[in-house]
Amino acid sequence: MNSVLNLPGMTVKSTELLNIKDYLGEKRKLVDELLSRYIPSASEEPRTLHAAMRYSVMAGGKRIRPILALATYEQFRPDSSETDSSIGYIMAGLEMIHTYSLIHDDLPCMDDDDLRRGQPTCHKKFGIATAVLAGDALHDIAFDLMARSGHTEIVRELAQAIGTMGMIGGQIADVEAEGREVSKAEIIKIHSCKTGSLIRCSVRVGAILAGAERSTFESLSQYGEKIGLAFQIIDDILDVEGSQELLGKKVGADNIKGKATYPGVVGLEQAKKDADLLIDEAIELLDDYDDNMLKHIALFIGQRES
């Protein structure tokens, strides 16, 4: 892509890729490189804290949020408006925010999870105090990186997407809904906030950096909203009938915890239909544009098995 990032994934153009899985695999490597670059080494003080941050961030994952930001940026950027290092900052920042949210969600006072991606959760490995602070510190680096993009608008997008009207609002609603009946409207709200808003934000910040026009921006935003909700519905579906091996975690955990889930509210078959519909609608929103990676990513989310 350019000499500033100078990383393996950036040399392959989206259109040259044979299929979406190759594309995602390629970009995941890029995200890993960026994350490793922007989190201080575990040999730097405070060492335990940096080790805990790296442990959680480098544990793998789909890296779907930064990849969405990149795919949006690559699709819509005008040729000369931005230095490409900015998209790298944003990509790393988005994934750090996602990881911070997972570390805090896993805490004993929240979901009390012992395993994440087949490994002990951050607090199981490093203790609760370190896990709280590792989440807090990732939160800070992420905002520093967003600001390095040079756009206060991008900082604000993130802050609002993950605040009380977004991700944190969804998380507390999720905790408060445990063990009680919820309506379809409620579960859509919870999922849209808890998972959807950061996914939507990833698309939006990519679009802002690319300087996308207002009407394009609105379509992209709706696209992000739809795939974000679909992503969490499918997460719930996989928790019912997914493969423990592919997921790296126990299936059926939501049920045991009395979590409010989408299939729990509308039934498994309807949940699948609704997720498919959301993916179709998301793709339709991009109909004005040629074949592009965002459509393929939406399809991939609709078909994912882990």
Distance in Å, CB of 169 to a second copy, minimum: 5
Can you tell me the distance from the alpha carbon of 53 to that of 130, in angstroms, rounded to the nearest whole number?
9
Alpha helices in the chain (DSSP H): 20-38, 47-57, 64-76, 85-106, 122-126, 128-148, 152-161, 167-177, 184-191, 197-210, 214-241, 244-247, 253-257, 262-266, 268-284, 293-303
Tokens read off for 158: 């993130």
| Contacting range for a second copy; rule: CB under 8 A; set: 67-75, 114-122, 143-151, 226-234 | 143-151
Distance in Å, CB of 258 to a second copy, minimum: 15
| Contacting range for a second copy; rule: CB under 8 A; set: 14-22, 70-78, 124-132, 269-277 | 124-132
Terminal C-alpha separation, the chain: 29
Site membership for a second copy, residue 148 (CB under 8 A): yes
Q: How many Cβ atoms are within 10 Å of 186's Cβ, its own excluded? A: 15
| 15 contacts 294 by C-beta, under 8 angstroms | no
Residues in binding contact with a second copy, number by CB under 8 A = 49
Distance in Å, CB of 112 to a second copy, minimum: 10
Site membership for a second copy, residue 162 (CB under 8 A): yes
Q: Tell me the β-bridge partners of 116.
A: 119
Choice between 92 and 294, CB closer to a second copy = 92
What letter would DSSP give residue 39? S
Q: Which of residues 23-82 bind a second copy (CB under 8 A)?
A: 40, 45-46, 48-50, 53
Site membership for a second copy, residue 175 (CB under 8 A): yes
Choice between 93 and 242, CB closer to a second copy = 93
Residues engaged in binding a second copy (CB under 8 A): 40, 45-46, 48-50, 53, 104, 107, 109-110, 127-130, 132-133, 135-137, 139-141, 143-144, 146-153, 155-156, 158-160, 162-165, 168-169, 171-173, 175-176
